[in-house]
Each structure stands twice: as C-alpha cells, then as structure tokens.
Amino acid sequence: MQLTFHTRDGRELPLPLFFPDATRAVVKGVDSVDVATTGTPGVLVNTYHLWRMIPAEQMTALRGVATFMHWDGATISDSGGFQVMSLVKKMGGKVTDDGVYFKPENSPTLLLTPEESIQYQLALGTDLCVVLDDFTPPEATYEQAEETVTRTILWATRSKLAFDEVCQKLQIPKEKRPYLIAPVQGGFYPDLRRRCARELARIGFDGFGWGGWPVKPDGTFDEESGKIMAEEAPAGYLLYGLGIGKPSDIVAAYRLGWTIFDCVIPTRDARHNRLYFWTGEGLKYTTKNAAHAPETSCDCYTCTHYDWAYVNHLFTIGDTLSYRLASIHNLRFYAQLMEKLRVLG
C-alpha cells in the first residue's frame, strides 16, 4: 500500500486522505480558509461543471483552480465521468465512442471527449487527474456493463496518449506531472471488473479509481468489487475510492487497500442538520442533529466557539450560518477519521 500522496509543489501527504467536493471551485457553505482550519488536506473539483463555465484558456490565465479559489492545499479533478451517469444516461444526451454529448438546459449540445477532459484537467493544474470513463449504471445488464468496460478501455487509451502529448508540449517534467488515475468499470460483474482492471493496468497509470457505484442494490457496501480491483492493481498503484463517503464504507474500503476518498456527504449532511460525532474509542460514531448534539471534545472551530444550542437556533430560523458551522464540524470529523485510520489501520 502506498503511504504518501505527493503534490506537484513537492509536499508529501500521508494516506489515507479524504477530499470534500468543491464541485464548482467552492465547498458549499464554507470558504477555503474554513476548510483548511479543519485539517482537510485537499479538495476535489468537477471537470464537467468548470469546463462548461470557464474556458481552458481563462483557467490557465487564472493560474489554475487552486489559485482561483485561494486554496493552498492539494487538489484533485474528476473527469466528468460521473456526469455520464447523472446528466446523460438519466436525463438525456448521448454516449458514443467519440465522447459524451451533453444537452444542458437552454444551451447547445456539448461534446466532452477523453482528450478534452485531459486537456482541461491539466489547465486546472490539479495534483491528480482522472481519465474519462463510461459509468456503468447499477441496473446494467451484463451486455450493457460489458459495453461500458470496452468504451472505458478505449477512452483510457486515448486519454493516456493525450496526457503524455500535452505534458510534453507544456514541458512538464515527470516529477512535476499530476497523478493519472483510470476508473475501473464493470458494475457488479466480477469478471468484467477484473478484465477492465487488467486492460487498464496494461495501458499504464498511477492508480485505479473505483468506477460506478460502490454500494449494492441492497444498500450494502460492494466489498467484492473493491477487493477484485485492489488485487489487480500493480504494486505502487494509488487506489482512489471515487464518491465513497459514508464513514463505514470508507473504513471497509481502506481495509481492502483503498486510500483516497471524496464525497459530498459531510457537507451535504451538514446542510441538512445531520452531524457526525465520535462515541468513544476507535472508529465508533453516531449522527445527531444540532438539537440533540452530545457533549463533545471536538476541537473544530464550531465546537470551540459555539454551543450546539446556538447552532440549532440557526437551523430553526433558517440562517445560512448554520450551514457553515455544521460543515466545519463534519469536515473536521472526516479529517479525524483519516487520522484514526492511520493509527488504527
């Protein structure tokens, strides 16, 4: 298992790491200083949404997304692959071997290709890039899942070529290049997961991403898929649990070898008054709303400056300060979860 994550500016971050989602270059409800005070080492930004809003030339002129959002930590960019599922396969659009045709409301059709995704992520200047993949729907038949695997491998090949070409054109030395991660698709079909992983390993990347849903139809964590992908990962590969954010799922994935995680859960839950608290030794935790928050020794900004009765009052009157204070607390909980995993394993 790889022990550290290196940033392009030379920092070494101990694994595991959790990156909250800063989808459009902001973690909802908090600013970059708030995020940093929680001990959160990095954030994830969304390639598709930023690509739609800020052209690559402008992002380059802004000196990348970290400078743009005044963030001094690590950054990860996804590929737009999740939007293949959330915005195309569910809401219209088209996926072909060429790329993904998005149909935004009141906008012309947009084509995101594997090459365009890579070029934009390099303009973002992130520490880790993800190649565009064809998201396997959780209800996919074997034939549908097989098609997503075939297309994911095709796009991964094109993405790797584009990555090498752009890095050479920009004269980025190997030690300054971001990690390049390839998501493994195949749904809940073990042979397809294994096939996809092996073909991606032959192409050559810095790690695997957990492609598709990490949760089975019955709501339980898909441990079998996680184990297969970890088994097929070459030595030294990073294993990135894309979208894995439930604390118990993070723990289960970490014990299989997965060490990088991102999700909207801590901040989304915070905005809905769902708060995380440790209940004792080890990794035991509970969730409460602000009205029933337990006494806590949490060292976050919220817990050291406010009573939970006040935070509950803010939720009651609908003041958005409640979102900020609750989000700070939940992000600190997730940073502590990573700290505990490093110690407890």
Q: Note whether 156 and 17 are same-domain residues.
A: yes
Residues 204 and 344 in one domain: no
Residue 126 DSSP label: -
Whether 223 and 204 share a structural domain: yes
Average pLDDT of each block of 10 consecutive residues along the chain (345 residues)?
A: 88 97 96 98 96 95 97 94 72 86 81 96 98 93 97 98 96 95 97 98 98 93 97 97 96 97 97 96 94 94 97 98 98 98 88
Q: Where are the beta strands (DSSP E) in 127-256?
A: 128-130, 179-184, 207-210, 238-241
Residue after which a domain boundary falls, among 263, 287, 321: 263
Q: What is the DSSP letter of 221?
A: B
* pLDDT score of 158: 98
Domain boundary pick from 214, 246, 263: 263
Q: Which residues contact 324 (CB under 8 A, 6 or more apart)?
A: 29, 30, 34
- 208 and 150 co-located in one domain: yes
β-partners of residue 337 are none
Active site residue 34: no
The answer to whether residues 172 and 302 belong to one domain is: no
Residues 246, 275, single domain; the answer is: no
255 and 274 share a domain? no
Q: Same structural domain for residues 175 and 273? A: no
If asked whether residues 72 and 113 sit together in one domain, one would say yes
We report the CATH number of the domain holding residue 136 as 3.20.20.105
pLDDT score recorded for residue 89: 65
Q: What is the pLDDT of residue 1?
A: 63
Which candidate in 34, 249, 262, 269 is catalytic? 262
Which residues, including other chains, have CB under 8 Å from residue 129's CB and lie 6 or more apart? 77, 79, 118, 121, 122, 163, 178, 179, 180, 181
Same domain, 171 and 300: no
Clarify whether residues 178 and 314 are in a common domain: no
- 78 assigned to active site: yes
Quote the pLDDT of residue 190.
Answer: 98
Domains of the chain: total: 2
Interatomic CA distance for residues 42 and 73, integer angstroms: 5
DSSP state letters, 29-58: T--HHHHHHTT--EEEE-HHHHHHHS-HHH
3 state DSSP class of 192: helix
Cβ atoms 8, 121 nearer than 8 A: no
Q: Which domain holds residue 308?
A: 266-345
Q: Among residues 21, 34, 78, 206, which one is catalytic?
A: 78
Cα 74 from chain centroid?
A: 12
Q: Which residues contact 28 (CB under 8 A, 6 or more apart)?
A: 267, 268, 271, 323, 327
**Three-state SS for 140?**
coil
**Given 263, 287, 320, which residue is the final one in a domain?**
263
Q: Report, in angstroms and rounded to the nearest whole number, the Rg of the chain calculated over CA atoms.
A: 20
Say if CB 276 and CB 332 are below 8 A apart. no
Instruction: Name the pTM for this structure.
Output: 0.95
Residue 106: the pLDDT is 72
Domain shared by 166 and 203, yes or no: yes
Q: How far is CA 104 from CA 13, 48, 49, 83, in A?
A: 37, 11, 11, 11
Q: What is the dihedral of CA 31, 247, 180, 159, to 10 degrees?
A: -100
d(CA 275, CA 291): 10
